[in-house]
Structure 1
Amino acid sequence: MNDRPQANGTDTGGSGPARDRLLGIYLNDHLAGAAAVTDRARSLAAALSETPSGPALHALARESAEDRGSLLGIMRALGVPVRRHKLALGRTAERLGRLKSNGRLVSRSPLTSLVELEALRLGVLATSDAWRTLRRLAETDGRLDARLLDGLLARAERRQAELEELCRRQVTETFARA
């Protein structure tokens, strides 16, 4: 099978240097996203630690950090180097995202928690997609542990359901105060 990119810029699939290069880009993008999700989850858990959502958010932050560690382990197993500039860009984007206006300049708005929960849902969805993609690749790449990926995917899907419930509660709380 030909592993070189085609003239139109698409990859022909299979294995080899072109596939590994694309996989490296893909995994580094997800690593940057994982760092941003972990930072956002920690920030939100701290902000809502005294609320009924606090324990679930602390667990989410811990599990997000564990996922990031799992992704780093997978990257090591695949021989994919970490691109530090992508991590820095992801963290910068996450911090800039905190500057959004939610109706208040100095204090935390009730809308902030809702928007941040929605952002976390998107991050966990992206994590699920990454695990799902890697799980498909595990069918033909012995460097990937299919059982580990199944567990990571199941946990991400559980977290999506938890975040959906937290968002429902936050919608009620946010707009009941308005």
Structure 2
Amino acid sequence: MDERAADVRRETVEGLGTYLNDHLAGSVAGAERFARLASALASTSVGPAVDTIAQQVAEERDELRAVLEALGLTRQNRLKQAAAWAGEHVARLKSSRRSLHDRRTAALLEVEILRAALVGKLGVWQVLEDVAGDLGLEAARMTELRERTLRQVATMDEVHAAVRARVLRAVS
């Protein structure tokens, strides 16, 4: 790699450091929230689909950690990750005190929040796909992760429809 290319790579990596760490913190909380939603919906028709996404999100969290390490960004922001984890656990305590009707509407809101989080996660794979060549990352893998996230969003649209119908039946 010539000196100019090395400078571009270094600047790109440094610029992405905070961004990638923020996504990693979000993925820590997201993995926990997806696992909780999968458990809450386990007995429904959409439970297995949510469980699959929960497992994939946890795998992708680990993959993002590996990307940070591959880029030499080993000083991950553990404070952000811990704050995201703590926030998730506070939300879990709060939701455990709700009535059955409130839990149903809470599940609907949780589906909406997690669907939005997946759209945010889509962005990180798009960015990494765009700069993969400059950073020495496997572009094909970033493409796979982007495409998988699109499938996850589509699945969460179906989950939203099912949970929404369940809530509306309970209200009627």
Work out the CA distance in 1 between the residues paired with 2:80 and 2:29: 11
Q: Confirm whether residue 56 of structure 1 aligns to residue 43 of structure 2.
A: no
Name the SS for the 2:137 alignment partner.
coil
2:168 is aligned with what amino acid?
Answer: F
Q: Which moved more, 1:151-160 or 1:80-89?
A: 80-89
Runs ≥4 residues deviating over 4 A:
99-102
1:38 aligns with 2:31: yes
Distance in 1 (alpha carbons) for counterparts of 2:39 and 2:111: 13
- Show the counterpart of 1:90: 84
Letter in 2 for 1:164: D
Which structure shows the bigger proportion of residues in helix conformation?
2
5+ residue gaps, structure 2, are 1-6
Q: Which amino acid aligns with 1:96?
A: V
Question: Are 1:80 and 2:69 an aligned pair?
Answer: no
CA RMSD of aligned residues (A): 2.1
Q: Secondary structure at the match of 2:115?
A: helix
Match of 2:103 among 105, 109, 129: 109
- Per the normalisation by structure 2, the TM-score is 0.86
Matched, 1:133 2:127: yes
Identity %: 32
d(CA) in 2 for partners of 1:112, 1:106? 10
Residue-by-residue CA offset, 1:28-79 (whole Å, 9 max, x unaligned): 1000111111100100111111111111111011001111111111111101
Tell me if 1:65 matches 2:77.
Answer: no
Whether 1:118 aligns to 2:118 is no
What does residue 3 of structure 2 align with?
none
Output the amino acid matched with 1:49.
A
Q: Could you tell me the TM-score, scaled by structure 1's length?
A: 0.83
Structure 1 residue 95: Cα displacement = 2.7
Give, in angstroms, the shift of residue 88 of structure 1: 0.5
Contiguous gaps of at least 5 residues in structure 1: 1-12
- Corresponding residue SS for 2:32: helix
Aligned length: 163
What letter is aligned with 2:35?
A: R
